[in-house]
Amino acid sequence: MRRIDISMPLYAGMPSFPGDPIFASHPVRSMDRGDPYNLSELVLGSHAGTHVDPPVHFIPGEKTVDQVDLDALNGPCRVVDVDPRLGSVGADVVSRLPAGTTRVLFRTANSARWERSLTFFPDYVALRPEAAHALVERKVRLVGIDALSVENDPSGSFPVHRALLGHGALILEGILLAAAEAGEYTLTCLPLRLRSGDGGPARATLTAP
């Protein structure tokens, strides 16, 4: 079996969503300074790099990241190629999903751009609200995308997040899919077990048959 790491590395200078905390790593113990071991202090936001959005991210009183069903994040998964000429993902893309699809990762033009340079770009491809509603109708449990946000909403009302999280679908953001061709995989994704967390940085991989 071939395992593909679709996680974004965490490092100083990595891309972050505008307004989110900037990742930093500070050495606390260093063998170069004569300490017996190396140890670092990390500073990061709960939505840094590859991460899971739990319902409480937008829905008050709903499940936090340490309460989500890990079965929803792990298991059979379909990577879907989105025409790189498209600036957003619409319901027409969702309509082509095979019946019974429960986990889907959208591979858009974003992945090729991430492969060239891990630098934030504001014109990233994201889901339109009608795509989110179509996914909810299909009872998809996990929606992933190769962007730091599943939506690009200048209005600030976040209809895509609210539609998905409000109907029990988890969101996986910040994945790198350049090395993952369209098709069926097994997804392994474990967010950090942050108590009462509104998000959870995660390591995510795809295993191909």
Give the CA distances from residue 202 to residues 18, 49, 52, 73, 138, in Å, rounded to whole numbers and listed in that order.
Answer: 20, 8, 7, 11, 25
With respect to residue 30, please indicate whether it lies within any of the assigned structural domains.
no
Question: Of the listed 26, 47, 51, 57, which one is catalytic?
Answer: 57
The full length of the chain comes to 209
Tally the domains of the chain.
Answer: 1
- Ordered per-residue pLDDT tens for the chain, 209 residues: 789 999 999 999 999 999 999 999 999 999 999 999 999 999 999 999 999 999 999 999 999 999 999 999 999 999 999 999 999 999 999 999 999 999 999 999 999 999 999 999 999 999 999 999 999 999 999 999 999 999 999 888 999 999 999 999 999 999 999 999 999 999 999 999 999 999 999 999 999 97
Contacts 24+ apart (CB under 8 A), 86-92: 86/125, 87/123, 87/125, 88/125, 88/126, 88/127, 88/128, 88/131, 88/152, 89/125, 89/126, 89/127, 89/128, 89/131, 89/145, 90/128, 90/130, 90/131, 91/128, 91/130, 91/131, 91/133, 91/134
| Per-residue pLDDT, 101 | 97
Strands 170-173 and 51-53: antiparallel
Range of the domain at 189: 2-7+46-208
DSSP structure class, residue 55? G
With respect to residue 27, please indicate whether it lies within any of the assigned structural domains.
no
pTM of the model: 0.96
With respect to residue 18, please indicate whether it lies within any of the assigned structural domains.
no
With respect to residue 23, please indicate whether it lies within any of the assigned structural domains.
no
With respect to residue 80, please indicate whether it lies within any of the assigned structural domains.
yes
With respect to residue 38, please indicate whether it lies within any of the assigned structural domains.
no
132: closest CA among 153, 159, 109? 159
With respect to residue 171, please indicate whether it lies within any of the assigned structural domains.
yes
Give the CA distances from residue 32 to residues 27, 39, 95, in Å, rounded to whole numbers and listed in that order.
Answer: 11, 12, 56
Neighbours of 131 (CB within 10 A): 25
CATH no. for residue 64?
A: 3.50.30.50
Q: Is 57 a catalytic residue?
A: yes
| Per-residue pLDDT, 56 | 98
CA distance 128 to 133: 9
| Per-residue pLDDT, 98 | 94
1: closest CA among 138, 201, 206? 206
| Per-residue pLDDT, 103 | 98
15: closest CA among 116, 142, 165, 166? 116
With respect to residue 163, please indicate whether it lies within any of the assigned structural domains.
yes
